[in-house]
Amino acid sequence: MDGQNALIILVGATGIALLAVAAITSIREREDAAATAESPFAASSEGMTICRSCGHGNLATDGACVYCGATLAHSMFES
């Protein structure tokens, strides 16, 4: 094997290595983006009553808002 063939093989191997690094980097970026993406589903508010005055969540058993003291409506049919 002469020097020219060795150089061609080396350049080819370097090109393949660069493509592999680019592919791995791309895959990792997509995985990181998917891992940090916000979920389309809301957090559970089961057992919570939202205060109509200040908007804070309170336990369903609370009669008054812990944050502002307003009376809490415990049913979606109450006004």
Q: What is the pLDDT of residues 23-38, one digit of tens each?
A: 999 999 988 887 776 7
- Domain layout of the chain by residue ranges: 1-37, 42-79
Is the full-model pTM beyond 0.85?
no
- Give residue 32's pLDDT: 85
Q: In the chain, pLDDT over 70 holds for what percent of residues?
A: 80
Q: Which H, E and C letters describe the chain, residue by residue?
A: CCHHHHHHHHHHHHHHHHHHHHHHHHHHHHHHHHHHCCCCCCCCCCCEEECCCCCCEEECCCCECCCCCCECCCCCCCC
- Please work out, in degrees rounded to the nearest 5, the angle formed at the alpha carbon of residue 67 by the alpha carbons of 54 and 77: 55
pLDDT digits (tens, 9 = 90+) for 6-21: 999 999 999 999 999 9
Alpha-carbon separation of residue 69 from 45, 64, 77, 78 (angstroms):
20, 5, 21, 18
